[in-house]
Chains A and B, each alone.
Chain A
Amino acid sequence: MGTTQSGIHGGRLSPSDYERNFSDLHPRLDDHEALVAADRCYFCHDAPCMTACPTTIDIPMFIRQISTGNPIGSAKTIFDQNILGGMCARVCPTETLCEEACVRNTAEHRPVEIGRLQRYATDVAIAGNHQFYARAERTGKAVAVVGAGPAGLACAHRLAVMGHDVVILEAREKSGGLNEYGIATYKAVDDFAQREVDYVLSVGGIEVKHGVKLGRDFTLADLTANFDAVFLGMGLAGVNGLGVEGEHLPGVVDAVDFIARLRQAKDKAEVPVGRRVVVIGGGMTAIDAAVQAKLLGAEEVTICYRRGKEHMNASPFEQDLAASKGVMIRHWLQPKRVIARDGHVAGIEVEYTELVDGRLAGTGETGVLAADQIFKAIGQTFEASGLGALSITGGRIAVDAEGRTSVPGIWAGGDCVKAGEDLTVTSVAQGRDAAESIHRALAAAVQPAAAVA
Chain B
Amino acid sequence: MADLRNDFVGIKSPNPFWLASAPPTDKAYNVERAFKAGWGGVVWKTLGEEGPPVVNVNGPRYGAIWGADRRLLGLNNIELITDRDLYVNLREMKQVKMNWPDRALVASIMVPCEEESWKAILPLVEETGADGIELNFGCPHGMSERGMGAAVGQVPEYIEMVVRWCKQYTRMPVITKLTPNITDIRKPARAAKAGGTDAVSLINTINSIVSVDLDNFAPNPTVGGKGTHGGYCGPAVKPIALNMVAEIARDPETYGLPISGIGGITTWRDAAEFMALGAGNVQVCTAAMTYGFKIVQEMITGLSNWMDAKGHRTLDDIVARAVPNVTDWQYLNLNYIAKARIDQDACIKCGRCHIACEDTSHQAITQFVDGVRHFEVMEDECVGCNLCVNVCPVENCITMVGLEAGTLDQRTGKPVDPTYANWTTHPNNPMARQAAE
Contacts and interface: CB of A to CB of B under 8 A. Distances in A.
B348 interface: yes
Chain A, interface residues (CB within 8 Å), range = 10 to 19
A46 interface: yes
B350 A44 contact: yes
B426 interface: no
Interface in B342-361: 347-352, 354-355
B352 A45 contact: yes
Interface stretch (A9-17, A35-43, A423-431): A35-43
A107 interface: yes
Contacts, number: 36
Interface string B332-372: 00000000000000011111101100000000000100000
A36 B173 CA distance: 48
B348 A45 contact: no
Contacts of A43: 352
Contact of A42 (B69, B70, B373, B393): B393
Given A36-B69, A39-B68, A46 B348 contact: no
Nearest to B71: A39
Contacts of A45: 350-352, 354-355, 367
B73 to A, nearest CB: 13
A47 interface: yes
B394 interface: yes
B348 A107 contact: yes
A103 B346 CA distance: 11
Interface residues of B, number: 15
A395 B46 CA distance: 84
Nearest to A35: B70
11 contacts: A39-B69, A42-B352, A44-B349, A45-B352, A45-B355, A46-B351, A47-B351, A48-B349, A103-B349, A103-B350, A104-B348
Contacts of A103: 348-350
Which of B70, B349, B352, B354: most chain A Cβ within 10 A?
B349
A35 B69 CA distance: 7
Most interface-central of B347, B351, B367, B394 (chain A CB within 10 A): B351
Interface in A1-60: 35-36, 39-40, 42-48
A44 B70 contact: no
A66 to B, nearest CB: 13
A349 B352 CA distance: 57
Contacts of B394: 107
A107 B396 CA distance: 13
User: Closest 4 A-B residue pairs measured CB to CB?
Assistant: A45-B351, A45-B355, A106-B348, A103-B348
A47 B350 CA distance: 7
Nearest to A43: B352
Contacts of B354: 45
Nearest to B397: A107
Interface in B191-205: none
